[in-house]
């Protein structure tokens, strides 16, 4: 009887323990992917990530073909789909790699219990993280609430497991069950095709992820510690969307950063590893506080006087706030399905603190528009900016979008790329067009309010308003 191999957020052959278990079982293997319905905000992915999923599944199908295998696509409630497949194939065993978002855990726990009660062997494996989120405990036996001790404990707890290689072949079943076609899932946008520029930036799939890792280690990792803050230069790995759907394992990335001393400054290596461990810390938070996506980690923020302002929310989403660095970031997000980390922080701070709009609105927009949308990283980072999260940036640290732009995009190259109507503006004013003299604007072909908006809020005023709103909270946090 065949083994069912259930792919989820692990769309890869490399370093895949469930695949390894299936391959070494000596039995035919039926790889499957189930498009699951929405549960608690998880399930069908945001629209940008659905674009990615389409191409990633196509790549996985192709890669499985090289192992003499295939990929069965089904959609619906996972338990019902699996029970049907078990009946169709006579499978007595199912394997998968674990996931750690609350909705996913709830589904998997139920599926495992019911299948086991029915005599099916159901086994799950680790691999989405460097370590299981339960592994690191504080001295008192609890979970970590701040990053630095988490990182220290991480460093002291030994190397993450070594990645394993992909098998060379899978035994095919005598009869393949029916599969949906990928096209029938309609994951790609048609009209309008807002993803038309995605392929210029991204190649979904495992092969591209491994290549990108190699390029990064051979290139931008050197100088990562400094370069990572400047959005105009490609100085980060760009691996996040590949990690989000598990096209590459974090262990594969981690171990690629070993053995480089002497070639690459230690600072750069450590800084990069620390970011990978931020991803772990986000999952640690989500695992131990499953309401993270909807509830403030710090309940002191439950009474925050958010404003409901649909018009300004829309200006933010469309990159029309009148603050060039914010607008460039929001337009990069729309055009590429991705935004540079420094600009994510600036844009998120602007929504929360300058516009006083609830961080959950921003989280939802990012979830729908990011190709790397991740239930742990997205929520934990939004709460980090809002000040409501674990080990968050203090609320009173309010980014000034003009100064941030001038510091991290000094020549305005990033702004010019994503806000082309400002492309001819003198560098002196590129982050503050509203202060530019009329003749400077005229020479650059800009009429404020016509070609580019005036600021939708005055930052200095908005800052005071945010601080006052924060001061109105009960002071017990
Ligand atoms: P690199 O700098 O090359 O870092 C390597 C990897 O480390 C990343 O791929 C990512 O997996 C991890 N990483 C880096 N920074 C962080 C971080 N701050 N938190 C958690 N993991 C990190 N990242 C996501 O993967 N998905 C999200 O949905 C997401 N939402 C965010 C929302 C906000 C408001 C902010 C401020 C940050 C968010 N991030 C998110 C974190 C970060 O911006 C991205 O991981 C990073 O920009 C991805 O680019 P990269 O792969 O080139 O990163």
- 190: pLDDT strictly greater than 90: no
| Residue 75: strand pairing partners | 35
- 59: pLDDT strictly greater than 50: yes
CB 51 within 8 A of CB 198: yes
Among 40-44, 55-59, 168-172, 378-382, the minimum mean pLDDT is found in: 40-44
176 catalytically annotated: no
Query: From the candidates 83, 92, 275, 421, which is the catalytic residue?
Result: 275
The CATH architecture assigned to 3-128 reads 3-Layer(aba) Sandwich (3.40)
Instruction: Report the separation in Å between the CA atom of 285 and the middle of ligand 1, taken as the mean of its atom positions.
Output: 15
Predicted confidence band of residue 139 (pLDDT cuts 50, 70, 90): confident
Instruction: Report the separation in Å between the CA atom of 118 and the middle of ligand 1, taken as the mean of its atom positions.
Output: 41
- 476: pLDDT strictly greater than 60: no
- 38: pLDDT strictly greater than 90: no
Which residue is it, tokens 């589904």? Answer: 107
Average the pLDDT over 282-289 and give the result. Answer: 95
Instruction: Report the separation in Å between the CA atom of 341 and the middle of ligand 1, taken as the mean of its atom positions.
Output: 6
Average the pLDDT over 231-249 and give the result. Answer: 96
Give the CA angle between residues 52, 278, 270 to the nearest 5°.
110
Average pLDDT, the chain: 95
Instruction: Report the separation in Å between the CA atom of 278 and the middle of ligand 1, taken as the mean of its atom positions.
Output: 8
CB 69 within 8 A of CB 63: no
Instruction: Return the ligand 1 atom nearest residue 347 CA.
Output: 34
Is 333 annotated as a binding-site member? no
Predicted confidence band of residue 191 (pLDDT cuts 50, 70, 90): confident
Give me the sign of the Cα torsion angle 362, 367, 373, 376: positive
Cβ-based burial of 25 (10 A; exposed 0-12, middle 13-18, buried ≥19): middle
278 catalytically annotated: yes
Q: What percent of the chain has pLDDT over 90?
A: 92
Cβ–ligand 1 contact at 233 (below 6 Å):
no
User: Which pair of structure tokens corresponds to residue 288?
Assistant: 């131990």
Is 238 annotated as a binding-site member? yes
- 475: pLDDT strictly greater than 80: no
Average the pLDDT over 431-447 and give the result. Answer: 97
**How many Å apart are CA 285 and CA 145, to the nearest integer?**
8
pLDDT in the model for residue 43: 55
User: How confident is the model over 329-360, as pLDDT tens digits?
Assistant: 999 999 999 999 999 999 999 999 999 999 99
194 catalytically annotated: no
- 157: pLDDT strictly greater than 70: yes
User: How confident is the model over 80-122, as pLDDT tens digits?
Assistant: 999 999 999 999 999 999 999 999 999 999 999 999 999 999 9
Instruction: Locate the domains of the chain by residue range.
Output: 3-128, 129-161+205-288, 299-471
pLDDT in the model for residue 391: 84
Cβ–ligand 1 contact at 17 (below 6 Å):
no
Is 224 annotated as a binding-site member? yes
61 or 474, which is more confident?
A: 61
Average the pLDDT over 12-19 and give the result. Answer: 98
- 439: pLDDT strictly greater than 90: yes
Q: Which of 377, 388, 389 gets mutated to test ligand 1 (max ligand atoms within 8 A of its CB)?
A: 377
Is 373 annotated as a binding-site member? yes
CATH code, residues 129-161+205-288: 1.25.40.80
378 catalytically annotated: no
Cβ–ligand 1 contact at 282 (below 6 Å):
yes
Cβ–ligand 1 contact at 273 (below 6 Å):
no
- Which residue from 365, 372, 391 is spatially nearest to 380, judged by alpha carbons? 391
CB 177 within 8 A of CB 5: no
SS (H, E, C) the chain: CCEEEEECCCCCCCCCHHHHHHHCCCCCEEEEEEECCCECCECCCCHHHHHHHHHHHHHHHHHHHCCCCCCEEEECCHHHHHHHHHHHHCCCEEEEECCCCHHHHHHHHHHHHHHHHCCCEEEEECCCCCCCCCCCCCCCCCCCCCHHHHHHHHHHCCCCCCCCCCCCCCCCCCCCCCCCCCHHHCCCCCCCCCCCCHHHHCCCCHHHHHHHHHHHHHCCCCCHHHHCCCCCCCCCCCCHHHHHCCCCCHHHHHHHCCCCCCCCCHHHHHHHHHHHHHHHHHHHHHHHCHHHHCCCCCHHHHHCCCCCCHHHHHHHHHCCCCCHHHHHHHHHHHHHCCCCHHHHHHHHHHHHHHCCCCHHHHHHHHHHHCCCCCHHHHHHHHHHHHCCCCCCCCCCCCCCHHHHHHHHCCCCHHHHHHCHHHCCCCHHHCCCHHHCCHHHHHHCCCCECCCECCCCCCHHHHHHHHHHHHHCCCCCC
- 477: pLDDT strictly greater than 60: no
Rg (CA), the chain: 24
CB 16 within 8 A of CB 10: yes
Instruction: Report the separation in Å between the CA atom of 268 and the middle of ligand 1, taken as the mean of its atom positions.
Output: 16
Cis peptide before 192 (omega within 30 of 0): yes
CATH code, residues 299-471: 1.10.579.10
**How many Å apart are CA 102 and CA 375, to the nearest integer?**
9
User: How confident is the model over 365-424, as pLDDT tens digits?
Assistant: 999 999 999 999 999 999 999 999 988 888 888 999 999 999 999 999 999 999 999 999
92 catalytically annotated: no
ipTM of the complex: 0.99
341 catalytically annotated: yes
Average the pLDDT over 284-300 and give the result. Answer: 93
Is 388 annotated as a binding-site member? no
pLDDT in the model for residue 42: 60
Cβ–ligand 1 contact at 278 (below 6 Å):
yes
């Amino acid at each position: 009887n065949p083994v069912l191999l259930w792919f989820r957020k692990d769309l890869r052959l490399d370093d895949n323990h469930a695949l390894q278990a299936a391959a070494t079982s000596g039995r035919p293997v039926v790889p499957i992917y189930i498009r699951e319905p929405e549960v608690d905000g998880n399930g069908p992915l945001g629209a940008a990530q659905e674009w990615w999923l389409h191409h990633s599944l196509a790549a996985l199908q192709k890669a499985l073909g090289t192992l003499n295998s295939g990929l069965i696509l089904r959609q619906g409630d996972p338990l019902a789909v699996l029970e049907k497949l078990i009946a169709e194939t006579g499978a007595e065993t199912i394997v998968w790699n674990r996931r750690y978002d609350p909705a996913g855990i709830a589904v998997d726990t139920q599926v495992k219990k019911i299948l086991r009660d029915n005599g099916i062997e159901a086994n799950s494996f680790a691999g989405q993280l460097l370590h299981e989120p339960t592994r690191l405990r504080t001295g008192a036996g609890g979970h970590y609430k701040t990053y630095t001790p988490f990182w220290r404990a991480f460093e002291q707890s030994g190397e993450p497991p070594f990645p394993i290689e992909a098998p060379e072949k899978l035994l095919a079943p005598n009869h393949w069950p029916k599969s949906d076609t990928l096209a029938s899932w309609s994951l790609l946008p048609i009209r309008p095709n807002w993803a038309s520029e995605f392929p210029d930036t991204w190649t979904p799939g495992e092969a591209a992820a491994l290549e990108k890792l190699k390029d990064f280690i051979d290139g931008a990792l050197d100088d990562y510690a400094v370069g990572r803050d400047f959005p105009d230069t490609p100085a980060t790995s760009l691996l996040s969307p590949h990690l989000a759907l598990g096209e590459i394992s974090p262990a594969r990335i981690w171990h690629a950063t070993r053995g480089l001393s002497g070639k690459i400054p230690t600072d750069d290596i450590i800084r990069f590893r620390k970011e990978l461990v931020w991803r772990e810390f986000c999952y640690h938070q989500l695992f131990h506080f499953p309401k993270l996506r909807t509830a403030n980690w710090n309940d002191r923020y439950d009474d925050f006087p958010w404003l409901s302002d649909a018009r300004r929310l829309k200006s933010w989403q469309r990159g029309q706030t009148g603050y060039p660095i914010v607008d460039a970031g929001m337009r990069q997000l729309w055009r590429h399905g991705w935004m540079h980390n420094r600009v994510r922080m600036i844009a998120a701070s602007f929504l929360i603190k300058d516009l006083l709009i609830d961080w959950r609105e921003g989280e939802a927009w990012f979830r729908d528009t990011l190709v790397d949308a991740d239930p742990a990283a997205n929520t934990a980072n939004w709460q980090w900016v809002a000040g409501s999260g674990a080990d968050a940036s203090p609320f009173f640290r309010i980014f000034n979008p003009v100064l941030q732009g001038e510091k991290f995009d000094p020549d305005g190259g990033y702004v010019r790329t994503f806000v082309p109507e400002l492309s001819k503006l003198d560098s002196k004013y590129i982050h503050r067009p509203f202060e530019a003299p009329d003749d400077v604007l005229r020479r650059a072909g800009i009429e404020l309010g016509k070609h580019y908006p005036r600021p939708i809020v005055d930052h200095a005023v908005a800052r005071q308003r945010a601080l006052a709103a924060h001061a109105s909270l009960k002071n017990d946090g």
